[in-house]
Amino acid sequence: MHYNLVLLKVLKMKKLKDSKRGISTTTIAGTIILIVIIAVAALYVLELPPFTRPVSKALIMGTTDSVESAIDPAQAYDYFGWEILQNTGCTLIEVEPGSSAEADDYNPALATQWTTSTDLKIWTFTLRQGVLFGDGTEFNATHVKYSFDRNMGIASPDGPQLNMEYDAIIDNVEVVSKYVVRFNLRIPFGPFLGLLACQASSIVNPEYSGGWKTNWWDADSWSTDDVVWFANGTDARTRNTMDLGPYRLANWTRVAGKDYEMRLEANPNYWNRAAEGGLPKTEEVIIRFYADATALRLAIEAGDIDVAFRHITATDIEDLKDNPNLHVWQGTGAAIQYMIFQEDHVPGLPQLNDAKIRRALAACLDRPEVCETVFLGQASPLYSMIPTGMLGRPEGVPGPFAVLGDANYTYAKSLLADLGYNETNKLEIELWYETSGHYPSSPDQAELYKSQFEASNVTTVTLQSADWPSYRINRNEGVMHVFLYGWYPDYIDPDNYAFLYWAPWLGHHYIGHNATNNYSAMKAAYDAARASTDETERISLYNELEGYAVEDCPVVPIWQGAAWAVTKPNIKGVYLDITQNWRIWLLYEE
Amino acid sequence: MGLRTYIITRILLTLPMIMLLLSIVFLIIRVMPGDPVLLHFEKKASEEAMAEMRRILGLDKPLYIQYFEYLVGLLRGDLGKSMQDFSPISDQIFSAFPATLELAISSTLVAVIVGVLLGVKASQSYNSLWDHSIRTLGIAVYATPIFFLGMVLQLVFAINLRMLPANGRFPPFLLEPNGLTLQLGIQTPDLVPIVLWFVPIGFASLAICITVLKRKRLRFWPNGLIAVLSTLLVGWVICMYLAWYFPSARTLHIKTGLYTVDSLMEGSPLKFVESIRYLFLPSITLGLVLSGVFTRLTRSNMLETLRLDFVTAARARGLKEGAVIYGYALRNAFLPILTMMGLQFATLLGGAILTETTFSWPGLGRYLVDRINFRDYTAIQGAVVYFAVIVAAVNLIIDLLYAFLDPRIRL
Amino acid sequence: MIKTRKAILTRLIPSLTSLAKRGSAGWMVIIGLFISVTIISMTILGPWISPHDPTAKLVNPPPNPSPPSLDFPMGTNLLGQDMLSRVLSGGSIMLQVAFLSVLFCFIIGVPIGLLSSYAGGIVDKTFTLVMDSFYAFPGLVLAIAIAAMMGRGVVNMALSIAVVYVPSYFRIVRSQVLTIRELPYTEAARAAGAKGRTILLHYVLPNVVPSIVVVATVNFADAILTAAGLTFVGLGVGIDVPDWGWDLTKGRALLPSGAWWVITFPGLMIVLLALGFTFIGEGLSELLNPRLEQ
């Protein structure tokens, strides 16, 4: 039978059927589906039984940070890695939350009391008794020695011990008795308490930290398994070497090689668990990782998370301040950003080994404009590598770099004219910035610095960019002509900022080409300030140091900023003090 | 050409194409500038250390051996190790793929539904204002950058109206949907009762079963019943043994990674609604951009079909217009739409990269963009290879489906 | 023969009045041409007609970003730059990338298509297989991988887009050649003793041109979208050149604070430009294949 004829037959039958019924099946089906959808939607909106949201005691925190290397004090030297170290691990002493980290703001933690010799070279600590590791072992002096020997021994090139020069400070750790440990230093070191309170000095659990080789980076001493053990994403990175802190890392989910979620659970063995109100204040904390600041802001605004910490952009902060459903917390600013000049020769570009060029470029910078435009006034201009609020850098007194001025084009022109640069023969520089959100608003800043340099009419700027891992490589290889860099303090002391003038990762390429350089005088002042506890002496030494720095301009401070946190209004216990530490164990929901 | 010949030819044609793609990707990644090992270690590592790392990644071997190992690895589903953290790339890709698949399926649904509805409307009112505006719309969505459309939808529905979440895949206050979990009987199995009771019973029922099945004339009562019962019993005993021997087999756990499906299997309506809510904006964005092609296809197909005799006849018989169009005429457009779905799959995956980046959707596209930012060459290679294989496979499946459904292709 | 060629060319480049007489397809071409020409000339004239320097900071004193006002009809962005000026001159990179990619595709795709289809045999089979493989591949994935490999720059971006679209040119040229080769007048020329090259250049190529133009316009529109996509995933050209794609990418961060104007205008410009070229392509292809116009 012909195809169409069959169809006609079927149609005929169908038509008869249709005419019998008043309403077609389609209408009925449609109505039913519609009713179901409306019913489900109504149930959902009214949060009736099947849709009741589970009452979770957990506090949910959102962040754009992620773990950069591992949660191990021998390897982590990034902001978030330290954050987790601090919340899951413990140090001998701690900084009083909310304090300004002065000498008397150090609280006992795993150590109960301490003494120091008059020459500041021998420090003796009496340890707390009865503190248990997760496996029931009692914490004692051997663990302190083990931790320092291990962390300094691993000497990971990216790790904090090497970069903070633990080796140059600590000679050895000595077990005096079961609960007494002694640090013998190589040099007199005033800020030693600060160093011991920082997360790189956390005590590791030997059971969890696995074997280590004296110098595991030395290729001769490794096997393939070791490398995989340290670097493997499913093994070492999910391994937390700590368990003395307020929390334990209960779960760490990574999707597609990226941090997705972390769950922290209260540590039942935490030594300070019985403190007033009980610590940690919240038993369970979920950390959610967001791809960018915009996503994080939208999440806190929608109420998906209770706390948003790092990074929320300046515009978003300003906008969220007006939101009655949220509370915006402003921290004390000790994070700084600065500009670095490559003094080695970079192919195809003028060498910046003459202090005049660097001073001229420094004079072109317009710090207030950056702070007002990109940061909407949330960052403040910085005229010293030691930020305002530290020893000898009181509020309202501009630092030594202020003598170069802001947007001081006449000065810049006169300096460059000496070297033969003018409107027709412009100084060419390459300015590098970071693109993967490691530093807030980097592209905007770079665009602004470019226009500030070019406003002098004697410079042309080419912008170059790299994502964070490549940026670090470029830094080490010395291929970046002029670039932006940032710093969060390891411990609160001018020492931890003044050392940026010869930080191991910068010093190699960036210092010491100037014919009249003051390198040795700077270093002498730095070492003297390190060994002194006399505040007036230290202040004058740091001023002397920075006086030389202004003449040389190897690095130029630009701005100083604060940490910001946004929470729901019922979240309390937020301490954003000068240490830049994020103490999750003090957060609680009211 | 018979159906079987067609299928074999089609598969054989796909193979050289995939091989070619794999080789292209391999070469593209190998000629990339920069040394990934240097990137991982930074400059401070010794030459020996870097050589060791190259050895681990197999990058020190001659190119043809690398190529051979790469192909052999692919056959085993091994895409190599990430240069960032040495974890297996295939694990990372498999953890990201369900998100992309869920987005792909839902946006294809959106595209087809929107496309067909608009296409039908346009063809019904041929050359009218409706027709022209729908056609223009079809072109306009095609000319819209996906991320721009995504941002506009975010602005309107998430930021201004606050109806839908703007980012992510699932709310943090809920645990991810866990899928279906079935208990297989014993929880704490003890060896003694199993040996004492189940082994003899198992063998006895097996024996009965075999005897019964050996008889030629099998009637349902009573032999058939005995056979069924003993088969069930044997099955149960085998399950018990398995459960005792493999602890992981005591519970059956089915998890697809598609949150909508998993939450339904878990029986949690809240999770289902939440996953739909999060899925909504991304799939609408991607679906709308793709819908233009389907609109046009449906329109032109319908215009042709509506002129055919049987439609006219159906109308003449007084059938309702809706029934004529959706019940009869649209069936003719089914095969072209199916083909178009296959052809559009590559475009869909490309669009998924931008959609995922806009909505922080944790899928393969975001993974690729991330890895590019870290210059993780082996991972880029893995992701691109995966994309290539998926596209080739989907095209093959659609073609085969087409061959089954359309008899003409077999001639 | 001359007549045929002329006829085809007239079909391709008809006067506007004759286009208008050809129904909706003609109108599509007219509208598309109007949009594209306007935007291209606007971009070229940008530096002269913009009220401010598009890269000058703080032309509007803080607070920024500020919503559209009389002074700044499209508002300002975070750095206090005038969005109108940025919109006026922000198309240059995309247009360069699109033009270059069309050029590259043309240079690579057409000769390969002609040669392959004319040579036939194993050469043709190989080329077809290679091109089909590329064609089946997700375009944006390929473009992203290649752009990431080659680094930033207009030419690199254009090349990575070209790789994706060469197969389209190849396919259309090949299928056209296979048809045209069998046409009586080509056969007549061959019978009259014309050489292969002559036939290719004088008989085949002119007839292929109209289809190529259609592919090229579609390619142009796609190239603009792909360029925007590459910028969005961080493979753009630079941040100190005004560019719609970059403004759109950067503006995303300001969106939740309600700064809709920062993304809306650059985004609409991309849509318009892509739409213009798509209209031309659609219209032309309908004029060349008037199957549905009865």
Rounded Cα distance, C175 and C185, in Å:
18
DSSP codes joined into one string, A205-238: PHHHH----TTTTSGGG--HHHHHHHH-TTTGGG
Residues of C in contact with B144 (CB under 8 A): 271, 274
- CB atoms A219 and B52 under 8 Å: yes
Size of interface B-C (CB pairs under 8 A): 131
Of C206, C106, A301, C257, nearest in space to B165 by CA: A301
Of A124, A108, A93, A143, nearest in space to A243 by CA: A143
- CB atoms B270 and A467 under 8 Å: no
Q: Tens-digit pLDDT profile for chain C (294 aa)?
A: 444 555 555 555 556 677 777 777 888 889 999 999 999 999 999 888 889 888 888 888 878 888 999 889 999 988 889 999 999 988 999 999 999 999 999 999 988 988 888 788 888 888 888 888 888 788 888 888 888 777 778 998 999 999 889 998 998 888 888 888 778 877 888 788 777 777 777 777 888 888 888 899 989 999 999 999 999 988 888 788 889 999 998 888 888 888 899 999 999 999 999 999 999 998 888 888 765 443
Q: Is C233 on the interface with A (CB under 8 A)?
A: no
Residues of B in contact with A33 (CB under 8 A): none
Tell me which of B220 and A447 has the higher pLDDT. Answer: A447
- What is the pLDDT at residue A371? 92
- CB atoms C138 and B346 under 8 Å: yes
Q: Report percent pLDDT > 70 for chain B.
A: 76
- CB atoms B31 and C149 under 8 Å: yes
- What is the pLDDT at residue A240? 65
- CB atoms C65 and A450 under 8 Å: no
Q: Is B316 on the interface with A (CB under 8 A)?
A: no
* Structure confidence by residue, pLDDT tens digits, B35-75: 656 655 544 455 666 676 677 777 778 888 888 888 888 88
Q: What is the 3-state secondary structure (H, E, C) of C77-106?
A: CCCCCEHHHHHHHCCHHHHHHHHHHHHHHH
Under DSSP, the state recorded for B175 is P
- CB atoms A297 and C78 under 8 Å: no
Residues of A in contact with B55 (CB under 8 A): 224
Q: Which of A432-441, B141-150, B370-379, C279-288 has the lowest mean pLDDT?
A: B370-379
- What is the pLDDT at residue A209? 58
DSSP codes joined into one string, A535-552: HHHHHHHHHHHHHHHHHH
How far lies C58's CA from each of A373, A449, A570, C47, C52, in Å? 8, 13, 39, 18, 11
The ipTM (two decimal places) reads 0.89
* Structure confidence by residue, pLDDT tens digits, B345-366: 888 999 999 999 999 999 999 9
Query: Does residue B322 surpass a pLDDT of 70?
Result: yes
Query: What is the helix (H) or strand (E) element at residue A461, kind and residue range?
Result: strand A459-466
Alpha helices in B42-88 (DSSP H): 47-57, 63-75
How far lies A125's CA from each of A95, A138, A188, A478, B103, in Å? 16, 17, 17, 42, 58
Please provide the average confidence, as pLDDT, over all residues in chain A. 83
pLDDT beneath 50: ranges in chain A? 1, 3-8, 10-11, 13-21, 211-238, 515
* Structure confidence by residue, pLDDT tens digits, B259-318: 999 998 888 888 999 999 999 999 999 999 999 999 989 988 888 887 777 777 777 777
- CB atoms A372 and C257 under 8 Å: no
**List of chains touching C (3+ CB pairs within 8 A):** A, B
Q: Which of A567-571, B107-111, B176-180 has the lowest mean pLDDT?
A: B176-180
The per-residue b/e assignment along C3-26, b for 16 or more CB within 10 angstroms, e otherwise, is: eeeeebeeeeebeeeebeebebbb
- CB atoms B86 and A158 under 8 Å: no
Residues of C in contact with B155 (CB under 8 A): 255, 260
Look up the pTM and report it.
Answer: 0.85
- What is the pLDDT at residue C271? 95
- CB atoms B17 and C234 under 8 Å: no
- What is the pLDDT at residue A478? 77
Contacts for A253 with CB less than 8 Å, ≥ 6 apart? A259, A260, A261, A262
Which chain B residue shows the shortest CA-CA distance from A262? B172
| A473, two tokens | 């490589």
Which chain B residue shows the shortest CA-CA distance from C218? B143
- CB atoms A295 and B360 under 8 Å: yes
Residues of A in contact with B313 (CB under 8 A): 4, 7-8, 11
Q: Which residues pair with B182 in a beta bridge?
A: B252
Question: Where in A39-109 does DSSP place strands (E)?
Answer: 59-63, 93-95, 106-108
Tell me which of B241 and B303 has the higher pLDDT. Answer: B303
- What is the pLDDT at residue C2? 46
The identity of residue A316, as a single letter, is D
Of B22, B84, B13, nearest in space to B382 by CA: B22
Residue carrying structure tokens 């690579």: C108
Chain A interface mutation, best of B37, B55, B57, B87, highest count of A Cβ atoms under 10 Å:
B87
Rounded Cα distance, A249 and A89, in Å:
10
Which chain B residue shows the shortest CA-CA distance from A287? B172
| B77, two tokens | 């589903």
Please provide the average confidence, as pLDDT, over all residues in chain B. 80
